[in-house]
Each structure stands twice: as structure tokens, then as C-alpha cells.
Amino acid sequence: MKTIKPLNLKIIGSDLEALATTTGIIVVLITPKGVMDPLAKRINKLTRGSLTRLIGSKHFIESDTGKLFSIDFPERCAAEKICVLKIERRTSKLIARKAGVEIAKMKGSVEILLALGNFANLVELCKGVMLREYKFYNHKTEDSLNLEDGDLITVMHKEPEIFKSELNEAEAIRDGVFLTRNLINEPSNILTTEEFANRLAELSKLGMKIEILEDDDLRNLGMNAFLGVGQGSSSPCKLVIMSWSGANDDVAPLALVGKGVVFDTGGISLKPAGGMEDMTMDMGGAAVVAGVLATLARRKSASNVVGLVGLVENMPSGTAQRPGDIVKSMKGDTIEVINTDAEGRLVLCDVMWYAQERFKPSAMIDLATLTGAIIVSLGHENAGLFSNNDWLCNEVLKAADFENEGAWRMPLGKPYSKLLKSRLADIKNVGGRAAGSITAAAFLEKFVKPEIPWVHIDIAGVAQTKSESDHAPAGATGWGVMTLDTLIKNNFECG
């Protein structure tokens, strides 16, 4: 089996003379007004004015910013291709990142040299390259891959050592996003609750504290809603707590809570067979939380953040939870289980309550592939946000917009909560077909203390996609790692 390591960029000093003998693909920059820097001018001279001819073409003039143009087998160059990036020297980070994504998409086994001079957003462009250059080949044999050597991108920079340090944060984000993608892409026979917990335990090497609560611990805490979801599976329930302490001890932590259903059959309320194989991604919320904590630790964030993920498998069996069962949550509320396929909220409600009771957080955010209804509402373009606090919700939306990760606020309110009234218990776990994602959020809101700013993020539509997304090939996207990292940087770091 072949595990692909993340792409690491090679940084070298600027060298005009080396351009003639560089093989593979060389990428240079020309502004929309046709201005060339010394590196592009050198290529233009070597190729007898080919860039000048390109600038004067209708195709170049009418194309959008961020467009790549190719000149194959250029004269007097060892390179097999010159790519010209039409872009302003000072442009938005998103345009720069998208340009990096396009560069990564054209890369096969051929080496690439980025000779972009003093492009202001070169770090963001490189981040786009790194985020898009992702492969999950863990379960393919090497014979079927036909992999070749040459997995290298080199960046020319006038101050290579300074640029290397500037890339550190981008590499930390890349590592967190890739951890999330890798976890989501793993099949459930590999990523069991025990294996998931073991992989999270490895994050202690980054300097965070890892604690794992087992079935008996959860039972002693009264987490019967959580345990009920897993009672039909041979895989044990586990609560993994990841703590990053980068600020003073007296700073209350931000709590991130993730749904970690490693496979969801629906339980006794069995899902249809078609598409059930996609339920390997029902632990996406837990994967995002892990990716965020890994990023914070990797970049030594000056924040206190605790990540809690409830790991469980929802299976039908003779011991499985039944529709009509009533369970008592850690909070003490009784829950009538109308549908065993509405299991994620049963996991989250106990973990969220535990997070508040033990850690007294300054704010709490939960992430979950919670409802198919959010896909009906928002498709695969936006995650759905629900909140009891305008400031925190707006900050998450601002961070998502800054990172080009789609998010949209959805409503909450008493009319939706009324749909969860149960004849036999304090609350039931579903409210009917109407407003399914909203009533799911309304259920969770009942387990949030009034004084705690809280955002629930339903990522069912964005955690994994059938086609490529802005920063990722088809499959797991890593949505949310960059958004939450930016949120923390903007609002929860000290100093």
C-alpha cells in the first residue's frame, strides 16, 4: 500500500541564469497591464519575445485575472513548458490561493519552478498549491498507481530563509486540513472507534494533552444518550479530549465538540442501501476538531482550546437501541428516541453538556454531519450555522468568508423547539420532516447553558463532495479547519 506524503516546497534564491537550464514547467507572472518582472523578462528574452506576443494577443487581453497560459517546448529553454500567470502583483489572498490551486492541478510527475518574483501574496499562492496537491492512496497497491518520481515544486525567492519562516503557518494549516481529509477518507473497517482514538492519541507528540474516556467512564458520568447510540455495535464508545494550552491557565478555553460516528447504518431505523457507503464520513465533525487542534499545536497558537469528540458506531443488532426507547441524558433530561437514525444529536448532547460542566468554556462550537436536510437547504456550497449568540456567529461567518469556505446562518426559535415535545419524555429526538436541520439544532440548543455563546455547524453537505471543491480533489474537503483557525486567531488568542 502507498501513503502519499504531503507536498513540501523547496525554496531557493532567485537566479536569472538558472532559468535557461531548468527542466519541467516554469511559472512566471505578468500583470494584466502586461508588466513583466526580471524573471519574466529573462524568459521573454530566452524565448525570443514569446511573452511579448502573448501579452498582445486578444486571448490574454480578454482573459480573467488568475488565468494560466501555456507555451509548450519554448525556444532556448530546457523547460518543456512555460506557464504565464496573469495576475496583479498585489491581489486578494483568495485570488492568489485559487491561482495556486490551478498550478497544482496541472502538475503530474513533472517538476515545477515558481519564478514569481516579488508577488505579494506568494504565501497564499503556495498554500493553494499545497492544499490542492492532496492524494489519498492508502488502500491502493503501488502497481495500480503507476507512480513516478519527481513530486517536487520549487519556489524562487529573493530572501529564501525569510520566506521559509513565512510558510510555516501555511504548512501547519495544510497539515491540519490533511489530517481531517485523511480521517474522513478512511473506510470504517479501518477507522474503528478504537483506531480513531489511537490516531488522536498520537497528537500528543505535538504538545497537546490527550485524554480518552471509555464505556465505563461514560456510564459513570450518566452519558446514556451517547451510549445508547453505540449499544448495537461491537465497537466501544469513546470520548477523546484534546487540550491545547497556549495561553495562561486563567483564560477560559474555547470548546470545540465533534460528532464522531465512524459508521452510520441508521440503526434499527435502517437507511436505504443506496449511498450508505458514504456514511464512512459521518465522523466528519470529529475529524475537523482534530484538524483544528493539530493546526493550533503545530503553529503554537497563543490560545486555550479544548476539543471533545464522541466516537461511536450506529449499528442494528439484537442489542441495538429501538425506536420508542427513552434514555436519560447526562444533563438529566429524558429523551424519547423516535428515530435511531437521528443519532448524532444524541451523541453531541451529552458531550456538549460534559464540555460545559468540566471546562467552563468561554464559548462552544459543535460540528457535525448532522442532517440530510441541510443539503436540501444549502446544497454542497455552504455549511449551515445555528447560534444563540450574534457576535460569535458573525465571527464564524466572517472567518469562513475570509477563507472562502461557504457558510450560511439558519434560524432558531421557540416554534421549532415546540416540534420536539414528547408525550412520554422531556423531549423527543426528531421533530418531523419539516425544517429537519433546524429542529436538530433546536434539540442541541436545549443542552447549551444560556450564558454560553454557542454555534452549531452542520457540515453534512460540505465535509465530502463527489466533485472537486475550491481547495481539494473529490472526496473529503477538510472544510472548517481554516475557518476555525482564523476564528481563533482573530478572537481567542492572547498577546
Active site residues: 271, 345
208 Rama sector, left if φ>0, alpha if ψ -120 to 50, beta otherwise: beta
HSE value, Cβ hemisphere, 13 Å, CA-based, for 375? 12
178 backbone dihedrals φ, ψ, rounded to 5°: -65, -35
Residue 115 contacts residue 41 (beta carbons within 8 Å): no
**112 grid coordinates:** 515545477
* CA 289 – CA 355 distance, rounded (Å): 14
* CA 323 – CA 206 distance, rounded (Å): 43
**483 grid coordinates:** 475557518
17 backbone dihedrals φ, ψ, rounded to 5°: -70, -25
Closest-CA residue to 462 (of 435, 483, 485): 483
Q: Looking at residue 450, what DSSP letter applies?
A: T
413 Rama sector, left if φ>0, alpha if ψ -120 to 50, beta otherwise: left
**418 grid coordinates:** 415546540
* CA 184 – CA 285 distance, rounded (Å): 9
The H or E element that residue 462 is part of is none
- Residues 6 or more apart whose CB falls under 8 angstroms from that of 32 comprise 65, 86, 87, 88
The H or E element that residue 55 is part of is helix 50-55
Residue 44 contacts residue 34 (beta carbons within 8 Å): no
* CA 144 – CA 1 distance, rounded (Å): 10
80 backbone dihedrals φ, ψ, rounded to 5°: -85, -15
Q: Cβ atoms within 10 A of the Cβ of 206, count?
A: 18
